[in-house]
Amino acid sequence: MTVSRIAAPSVDRLAPWQFAAFVEANTHDMAYRPPVVDGPVGPTVVRNGRELVNFASISFLELDRHLPVQRHFAEGARAHGLSTSGSRMTQGICRPHQVLEDTIARHTGKERAISFATGLLANIGFVHAMSSSAHFDAGIEVRNHDTVFVVDRDVHWSIWKGLEGRDYGRNVHAFRHNDVSDLTRILERVRARKTVVIAESIYSADGTMGPIVDILDACERYGAISMIDDANGFMVYGPENRPYAREAAAIRDRADFVMVSLSKAIGLEGGAIAGPATAIDAFELLSGTSMFTAAIQPPTAYTAKRTIDVLADDPAIVDHYLAHAARFRRQMHESDTPTTPTDSYMLSVPIGNDAAALHMREWFVEDGYLVPVFSYPAVPRNRALLRLFPHAGHTEEQMDGFLRTLLTYRRRLGL
């Protein structure tokens, strides 16, 4: 048997990148060596052989674990294969992509939608498409390098990645988080012909709900194009009996573009941009992140469409989940645990001191809980927080146990 040898890269040659020092300085952060999960992720997770109550799962409705969904996935795999095996532009999209895109366009209230392998690629592609210049054989040119972006400072990394290399202060401006007066101040000053405003519905960093109605008012007043990243709100907010109904209606009726992710409520993988038909058609070529990479796997696209239909046909699934999340928030407040002031299903618990938050993370694991901790540089120094996703499958006992454990740590740390 031949044993393949792993070439050891010369440490000296990699020295200028400072990887060794970087990892050494951050060994407290498990992100550099992700722990290994065995079995499916759900309200609990088996990580490095230990079962933990899981507050980290973004697939919080648990639909991906339902047998009918899994059967549907298998049916999609048999009918449409496992891979697109080619680019959308050279080979074409698979039928499930077309049906999914039509479904997303319908649910977001837009003319058309284009899907991407992930929401992250949808965001990067959107920024690229709105700001690139290209010349085509037919003599058609688009020259959009002069686009000015005005974005909430806390938008997702993928938007900032797309904006990288653009001239900050000239064609990229950031407004203070959720601060419409700061947005208005910038729009008043910029007054560019091609301005794009980007904000999120629900911010994954702190769980806050963006003031979307006021943001869209400002866009309309200044003639700016709006793009709402609805990764965390898609199929959760909308019907009038739920919180954030007015904002969800505004996203649907008034936002020019909407980004959706399929990795959150839908519990799968993929993303899309929905908007005016001509722009979405142009994005096929101009986004780059659709044409130059593989699409969502066909059975995933097939199942995502079905899951969207299930959530639309049976509103009780999300209603129950939101009630469950609201109960958890209430219990926190009753036990004097402060949370970021927001009504979203995501819960952020401010801890402050970075070192205390990192201790907490380790203690939680020792006591059987998986709790995401955001500390510097994810958030400003010493503004660390716990960011929790209540899971539809969490039992009362698990939630009570978490709350008791958190209280013990807060007392121990004098918080």
Footprint on this chain of ligand PLP (rule: CB under 6 A): 118-120, 123, 156, 158, 200, 204, 229, 231-232, 261, 263, 271
Six-digit token string for 378: 């994810």
Distances (CA, A) of 22 to 25, 36, 103, 112, 145: 5, 22, 45, 44, 35
**At closest approach, how far in Å is the CB of 278 from ligand PLP?**
24
The strand pair at 271-275 and 257-261 is best described as antiparallel
Residue 142 near residue 189, CB atoms below 8 Å: no
CA 254 to CA 228: how far, in whole Å? 10
Q: For the sheet with 44-47, list strands across it.
A: 37-38, 44-47, 50-54, 369-370
Decide whether 57 or 232 has the Cβ nearer to ligand PLP. Answer: 232
Decide whether 192 or 390 has the Cβ nearer to ligand PLP. Answer: 390
Q: Residue-wise over 103-137: b if at least 16 C-beta within 10 A, else e?
A: bbbebbebebbbbbbbbbbbbbbbbbbbbbeeeee
Decide whether 121 or 250 has the Cβ nearer to ligand PLP. Answer: 121
**At closest approach, how far in Å is the CB of 356 from ligand PLP?**
25
Decide whether 200 or 256 has the Cβ nearer to ligand PLP. Answer: 200
**At closest approach, how far in Å is the CB of 266 from ligand PLP?**
9
**At closest approach, how far in Å is the CB of 18 from ligand PLP?**
27
Decide whether 120 or 192 has the Cβ nearer to ligand PLP. Answer: 120
Decide whether 120 or 224 has the Cβ nearer to ligand PLP. Answer: 120
Six-digit token string for 402: 């978490």
**At closest approach, how far in Å is the CB of 286 from ligand PLP?**
20
Q: For the sheet with 373-374, list strands across it.
A: 347-352, 384-388, 373-374
**At closest approach, how far in Å is the CB of 184 from ligand PLP?**
23
Decide whether 96 or 207 has the Cβ nearer to ligand PLP. Answer: 207
Q: Write down how long the chain is.
A: 415
Decide whether 204 or 339 has the Cβ nearer to ligand PLP. Answer: 204
CA 1 to CA 203: how far, in whole Å? 52
H or E element that contains 175:
strand 172-175
Assign 3-state DSSP to the chain and report helix, strand, coil percentages, each to 5.
40, 15, 40
Roughly how many angstroms between the first and final C-alpha of the chain, as a whole number? 59
Decide whether 139 or 377 has the Cβ nearer to ligand PLP. Answer: 377
The residue at minimum Cβ distance from ligand PLP is: 119
Give bridge partners of residue 115 from the DSSP assignment. Answer: 272
**At closest approach, how far in Å is the CB of 280 from ligand PLP?**
18
**At closest approach, how far in Å is the CB of 259 from ligand PLP?**
7
Decide whether 308 or 399 has the Cβ nearer to ligand PLP. Answer: 308
**At closest approach, how far in Å is the CB of 116 from ligand PLP?**
8
**At closest approach, how far in Å is the CB of 58 from ligand PLP?**
7
Residue 228 near residue 258, CB atoms below 8 Å: yes
Q: What is the DSSP letter of 63?
A: G
Evaluate the CA torsion angle 153, 158, 107, 253 in order and state its sign. Answer: positive
Give bridge partners of residue 349 from the DSSP assignment. Answer: 386
